Chains A and B, each alone.
Chain A
Amino acid sequence: MAERALERRVCPTTGLTVYKTTETLIKINAVVAIVYLLIGGVMAILLGLTRWPAVHLLPVDWFYRALTAHGINMLIFWILFFEMAVLYFASSVLLKSRLACSTLAWLGLALMLGGSIMVNVMIFGGKADVLMTSYVPLKGHPLFYLGLILFAVGALINVFVFFATLYVARKEKTYEGSVPLVTFGATAAAIIAVSTILHGAIALVPTFLWSLGLIEAPDPAWYRLMWWGLGHQSQQINVAAMVSIWYFLGFLTVGSKPINEKVCRGAFVLYILFINIASAHHLLVDPGVTASWKIWNTSYAMYLAVLASMIHGFTVPASIEAAQRRNGYARGLFEWIKRAPWGNPGFAALILSLVIFGFMGGITGVTLGTQQINIIAHNTMRLPGHFHATVVGGTTLAFMGVTYYVIPLIFRRKLRFPRIAKYQPYLFGGGIALMAISMTFAGSAGVPRRHWDANFSGAVLPVDLGPMAIFMLGVVGIAATIAFLGLFMYILVAVASVFFGKRETGVVESVFNSRRDTVVSTVAPSTHGFDTPGTVMLTLIFLATFAVYFFANLKWLSNVWWVR
């Protein structure tokens, strides 16, 4: 057992030491993640086609069942299994260390797997049509809550293995000085994960006992506060993991390196310190919590976590720009963008993820999360419009991009269907972006989120939300179809490569022509006093867009009835 734990190889491409156990765990977690992505994706297209009024595919009970399955499989199972793979990679592989307590890692994996299967059996058996949030006093089957708890315990064990590996690496001196930035970011994600999982336990353990009939129903307001300690903070695990992957992909695709380690690391620390109060974003129009509580908490204590994202939103493209200028593309403001490796899906996924997350997800998120503006947004389709931009267009797309490197480097298989892979990020990112926009417009027209029929057919008091609402829901359906196609292409490439790809043995050649290191700069960089003038320009455009959208929403708010 002890020898098996030390079995390892040196990667001929990157020079990193990959331990056998780590490699196997990364593989299993990644494959399981993709299985859940497929289940969630099939649910997604069914939902998209049901919300498209002209199609209205699913019957009402299956709509809410599919919605429950979609939310949990996508937002929890797909993302967390993939993040476990990221944690193993960022600790054991990047620090060239053996995995600490590998037996515990297998136990964690077993619990996560068992829990997630239990939850899915309950959902598809029709025993837990409670949606992802399962707001009490809406009640699901006890095994639904138990499955979630087991999954969370498994995840917590794996996070412990991550921390233990950091400790072992330090103690056995497998590296010198500070940990790499990607490991630092993953550590931020892991710290937030501990807090997230504890909130999950606080919310779900009493709910589980209540579903067994052992205790009285938890207070609905209390449940919302605690559940969102799980629900919103888990999104910040995603953000920290995604940003780490941005830095990683920047290095892999154009050879970028952080411009200033202090700034990047400081921004991750801001996430850890201020994200825990994000739960309040979901309680902005709730009874029982005061305005001052809402204002302080919704701003993450003066938006310091938003500041962190804006810093990464600058440093990531700036590091890419600096690398591209070093690679010789230094003409004018934007040659570094024009001559970037757009045909490399790792790079395309990185940039699309960055833009969709920042411009769409970030701006809408802060605006919707402004205490008063939430009145004209709460529980409308503007909300899924926002978080599909952050967690799907952002996190999922970044994970997809890094998969194209995980396959040759960890699975050691040659990528199959590189032409499909080349277009995949554009189709998926484009579909999600269009879907997020149309959802946002539908929400502005009053369409509620998580709702089977925007025509309210059969209601005693009929409701007409108007042609704009119905049209936008049609666009949502079309966009969901495009995004699903992109998702299917991703799964096709991943599954075909992992199971039927040619084995890689030596140094991995990228199947995508990266022009990196092929030209020598002939012009002196024109920088207007900045080393990264293009990024300065882009971030100024971002800030202007942000301000316009924010103040436009305040204006719309001023048109509705007075309320206190």
Chain B
Amino acid sequence: MSVQTPERYWWKPIHKAERVWIGLALTWCLVLFIVMPMQHFFGKQNSTGEAYRVDPQAYMQFVLKWTDERKSGDVNGVPVVAVAPGSDAYLLAQMWRFYPILKLKKGESYRLHVSSPDLQHGLSIQPMNMNFQILPGYDHVLTITPTQAGEYSVICNEFCGIGHHLMTGKIIVEE
């Protein structure tokens, strides 16, 4: 009984059904474990956590300047930057906006930098549903290759105060 002390010698051989189940469960656990390194080496989607220490305010100043030097038009007052294929793209996640709007090309790869000058934020690209964490003081670098063209929304999915639901942005991917 589970609420009474067991008999004196309870270290007994394991029952057949239990032995079979433990074997199956352990095998499945090992399959799960192997999938992750496999995906790391052969899969196209990985989070490697590449990041560099950065001063939060310096990062913000850099992105503002980077945007000013390259902007080509705007959407609802938010500047648009067309990023050269293969180069670095910068995104500022700030209470409560993603700045600027990035214009990328399908099939090209970019080093997308994202960081915050204030609180923690979340980078959520929709309707793709790709999600990454943004921390102040960490320049998070994602090497991305957009595989479909279209207009994508960026939303914040880490609570960042009263205006959290207003924090949106945009990534435009052209053919």
B119 touches A138 (CB 8 A): yes
Chain B residues within an 8 Å CB radius of A287: 49-51, 132-135, 138-141
Given contacts A181-B2, A303-B32, contact A291 B49 (CB under 8 A): yes
Complex: A303 Cα to B137 Cα, angstroms: 33
Chain B residues within an 8 Å CB radius of A490: none
Question: Which positions 288-339 of chain A face chain B at CB distance < 8 Å?
Answer: 288-291, 293-295, 298-299, 302-304, 306-307, 310-311, 314-315, 318
B16 at the interface (CB under 8 A from A): yes
Q: Which of A110-118, A142-150, A455-463, A505-513 participates in binding chain B?
A: A455-463
CB distance from B80 to the nearest CB of A (A): 11
A375 touches B5 (CB 8 A): no
A539 at the interface (CB under 8 A from B): yes
Chain B residues within an 8 Å CB radius of A263: 14-15, 18, 22
CB distance from A9 to the nearest CB of B (A): 18
B127 touches A302 (CB 8 A): no
Which of A293, A379, A452, A532 contacts B157, CB < 8 Å?
Answer: A379
Q: Which of A152-160, A192-200, A411-419, A552-560 participates in binding chain B?
A: A552-560
When A and B form their complex, what is the total count of cross-chain residue pairs whose Cβ atoms lie within 8 Å? 316
A449 at the interface (CB under 8 A from B): yes
B48 touches A137 (CB 8 A): no
A202 at the interface (CB under 8 A from B): no
A563 touches B46 (CB 8 A): yes
B131 touches A460 (CB 8 A): no
B18 touches A314 (CB 8 A): yes
A379 touches B131 (CB 8 A): yes
B76 touches A372 (CB 8 A): no
Q: Chain A contact residues: over half helix, strand or loop, or mixed?
A: loop
A259 at the interface (CB under 8 A from B): yes
Given contacts A460-B168, A529-B16, A530-B16, contact A562 B2 (CB under 8 A): no
Given contacts A307-B25, A371-B36, contact A64 B166 (CB under 8 A): no
24 contacting pairs across A/B (C-beta < 8 A): A94-B3, A137-B119, A138-B161, A248-B3, A251-B1, A263-B18, A285-B131, A286-B47, A287-B135, A287-B138, A291-B49, A295-B40, A310-B25, A372-B43, A378-B157, A380-B131, A446-B127, A452-B165, A456-B166, A458-B165, A459-B167, A465-B126, A561-B146, A563-B130
* Interface residues in chain B, defined as those with a beta carbon under 8 Å from any beta carbon in chain A: 1-8, 10-12, 14-18, 20-22, 24-26, 28-30, 32-33, 35-37, 39-40, 43-51, 75-78, 97, 101, 109, 118-120, 122, 124-148, 153, 155-162, 164-170
List the 6 shortest-distance A-B pairs measured between CB atoms, nearest first: A287-B51, A448-B157, A287-B140, A303-B29, A247-B2, A261-B10
